[in-house]
Amino acid sequence: MITLHTWTTPNGRKPIILLEELAVPYTIVPVDLGQREQFEPAFLAISPNNKIPALVDDEAAGAPLTMFESGAILTYLAEKHGRLLPAAGAERYRVLTWLHWQIGGVGPMFGQLGFFAKQDDAFAIDHFVKEAERLLGVLDKQLSTGPYLAGAGYSIADIAVYPWIVAATERLGPQLGATLAGKAALQRWLKLVGERPAVGKAMAWSAG
């Protein structure tokens, strides 16, 4: 059985989407970030970096396997089940490229924008708005070349990016609303991915 330790953040929802797409049994253990449960010794034993999500797979070779970092978890699950990440070749590396683009760009930059927007720091907000707008431009341009982020096939790259764009739409409207609304390919992709039953179920998950 797979046990996922997570919370209702964009990174926290990524592996839920993938597990729903794979239709494999799993259990969620909520890690309430507001209550600082990510610093409890039991969680730190799984995720030494005190970040969600973290995963325990009791059925892995040499079980139990413990993992943290959402990108690593997505890659592991996709490879284990042979879905949503090509096994080899250029298609595989296109998916990994866009997966790591999210990990290194969209996640940190959108996260910092959300943080500084709450602090009313005009200089920082302007800096991160410009970078977020640039990233949204990159995303929209790429999506204008095909239905999904890494080409014709839905993949863990789409799963990684989608919750962050939804969060930006819901929480960063004053900063990014006009930019998001003006991206036709991005809006098409949001609708396409959002209509997947597994995505809808994962995005609706609530620890309450």
pLDDT tens sequence across 174-202? 999 999 999 999 999 999 999 999 999 99
pLDDT digits (tens, 9 = 90+) for 36-57: 999 999 999 999 999 999 999 9
Instruction: Give dist(CA 34, CA 63) in Å, integer.
Output: 31
2-83+199-204 and 89-196, same CATH topology? no
What dihedral angle (degrees, nearest 10) is formed by the CA atoms of 188, 132, 114, 8?
40
Angstrom distances, CA of residue 167 to CA of 67, 94, 103, 141: 25, 24, 15, 20
CB atoms near residue 4 (< 10 Å): 23
pLDDT digits (tens, 9 = 90+) for 125-180: 999 999 999 999 999 999 999 999 999 899 999 999 999 999 999 999 999 999 99
**131 burial class (0-12, 13-18, 19+ CB within 10 angstroms)?**
middle
**192 burial class (0-12, 13-18, 19+ CB within 10 angstroms)?**
middle
Instruction: Give dist(CA 33, CA 12) in Å, integer.
Output: 11
Instruction: Give dist(CA 175, CA 172) in Å, integer.
Output: 5
107: which 2 tokens? 């996640």
pLDDT digits (tens, 9 = 90+) for 15-40: 999 999 999 999 999 999 999 999 99
Q: Are 91 and 31 in contact (CB under 8 A)?
A: no
Residue 208 has pLDDT above 80, yes or no: no
Instruction: Give dist(CA 141, CA 146) in Å, integer.
Output: 10
Q: What pLDDT does 75 receive?
A: 98
Per DSSP, what are the bridge partners of residue 55?
4, 67
Q: Give percent above pLDDT 70 in the chain.
A: 100
Instruction: Give dist(CA 28, CA 115) in Å, integer.
Output: 27
Bridging pattern class, strands 54-57 and 26-30: unpaired
**Is the CA virtual torsion 93, 79, 24, 29 positive or negative?**
negative
Per DSSP, what are the bridge partners of residue 68?
54
Tell me 4's DSSP state.
E
According to DSSP H, which parts of the chain are helical?
Answer: 10-22, 41-44, 70-81, 89-101, 107-119, 122-143, 156-171, 173-181, 184-194, 197-204
**CATH, domain range 2-83+199-204:** 3.40.30.10
**Domain coordinates in residue numbering, the chain:** 2-83+199-204, 89-196
Could you say which architecture CATH assigns to the domain 89-196?
Up-down Bundle (1.20)
CB atoms near residue 197 (< 10 Å): 9
